[in-house]
């Protein structure tokens, strides 16, 4: 929890400070009530205006609390997000390992090839590349063409691991929110089509999907809930997010899928051990001769 919390806090803290504070409390194993009291005392001493922006990162239309009939659907969304998180957590290390097999090419050449591929994609479809904030905003506003969202989701799902394999400065934070919003909107639209008599807001599922997918990948539910609530300024989805994030965390845990930052840490340690062994063999060969 501490390892993935530190990384998630670093990615999210600059844009959503309260989520960073919440995750630091979780990673340090501070009990809930003392952590809440410390946060309240800290908020009383600090002027909130310099800390928070004048507007949320993403503009979301006012969302209702939803009809009681829609509540079980958010648990199903959590399960779907958990399965997608497992696929993402397996794809990212596999992509890095595939890039490292190209040993004949230096790291700079591999990064250049990945950059050229992404640049070519951006030339023909500029809206698909980048951090993903613009895509997330359009998804939350439900102004994207619904038929194109599955294609965009698949491209972004693969583009994130491929870009991360380049070993250039970057992160997973914004891409995770984009994928969560897209998957949530698609799920909400499918539910709206399947249950036309029920008052379903697909945008609400997009908001909940952001927190659920983040939780499934990182296994930091408190951070995901506070993060999405702070970035969208939407509090009506707190209870649906809580249920969806619970299921999104439960599914990968039952299936013994490691959190993404744990997987990346283990991969880094294995690579370092292999490098040290290679150096040790090179040093012992002259001595044996």
Q: pLDDT tens-digit profile of 28-53?
A: 444 545 555 555 555 555 454 454 55
**282 in any annotated domain:** no
Assign 3-class secondary structure to 153-208. Answer: HHHHHHHHHHHHCCCCCCCCHHHHHHHHHHHHHHHHHHHHHHCCCCCCCHHHHHHH
Q: 78-87, 99-108, 274-283 — which one is most confidently predicted on average?
A: 78-87
User: To the nearest whole percent, how much of the chain has pLDDT over 70?
Assistant: 77
Give Dmax over CA atoms of the chain in angstroms: 81
**24 in any annotated domain:** yes
Q: Which of 82, 74, 84 is nearest to 240 (CA)?
A: 74
Distance in angstroms (rounded) separating the CA atoms of residues 157 and 238: 26
Provide the domain count of the chain. Answer: 1
**137 in any annotated domain:** yes
If DSSP codes are grouped into helix, strand and coil, which group holds residue 130? coil
pTM of the model: 0.80
Structural domain that includes position 151 = 2-260
User: Angle of helix 202-218 relative to helix 71-100, nearest 10 degrees?
Assistant: 50
Q: What is the DSSP-derived secondary structure letter of residue 257?
A: P
**277 in any annotated domain:** no
Question: Positive or negative, the Cα torsion across 128, 267, 10, 6?
Answer: positive
**155 in any annotated domain:** yes
The CATH number of residue 52's host domain is: 1.10.3080.10
């Amino acid at each position: 929890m501490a390892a993935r919390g530190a990384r998630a806090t670093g990615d999210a803290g600059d844009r959503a400070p309260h989520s960073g504070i919440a995750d630091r409390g979780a990673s340090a194993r501070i009990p809930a009530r003392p952590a809440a009291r410390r946060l309240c005392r800290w908020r009383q001493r600090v002027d909130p205006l310099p800390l928070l922006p004048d507007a949320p990162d993403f503009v979301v239309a006012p969302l209702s609390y939803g009809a009681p009939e829609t509540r079980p659907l958010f648990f199903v969304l959590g399960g779907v997000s958990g399965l997608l998180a497992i696929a993402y957590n397996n794809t990212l290390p596999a992509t890095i390992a595939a890039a490292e097999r190209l040993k004949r090419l230096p790291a700079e050449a591999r990064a250049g090839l990945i950059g050229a591929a992404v640049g070519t994609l951006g030339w023909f479809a500029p809206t698909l590349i980048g951090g993903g904030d613009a895509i997330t905003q359009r998804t939350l506003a439900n102004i994207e063409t619904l038929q194109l969202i599955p294609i965009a989701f698949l491209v972004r799902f693969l583009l994130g691991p491929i870009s991360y394999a380049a070993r250039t400065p970057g992160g997973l934070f914004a891409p995770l929110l984009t994928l969560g919003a897209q998957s949530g909107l698609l799920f909400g639209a499918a539910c709206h089509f399947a249950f036309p008599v029920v008052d379903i807001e697909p945008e609400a599922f997009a908001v909940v999907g952001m927190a659920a997918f983040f939780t499934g990948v990182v296994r930091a539910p408190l951070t995901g809930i506070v993060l999405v609530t702070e970035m969208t300024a939407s509090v009506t989805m707190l209870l649906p997010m809580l249920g969806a994030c619970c299921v999104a965390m439960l599914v990968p845990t039952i299936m013994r899928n490691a959190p993404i930052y744990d997987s990346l840490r283990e991969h880094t340690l294995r690579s370092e051990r292999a490098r040290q062994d290679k150096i040790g063999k090179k040093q012992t060969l002259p001595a044996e001769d």
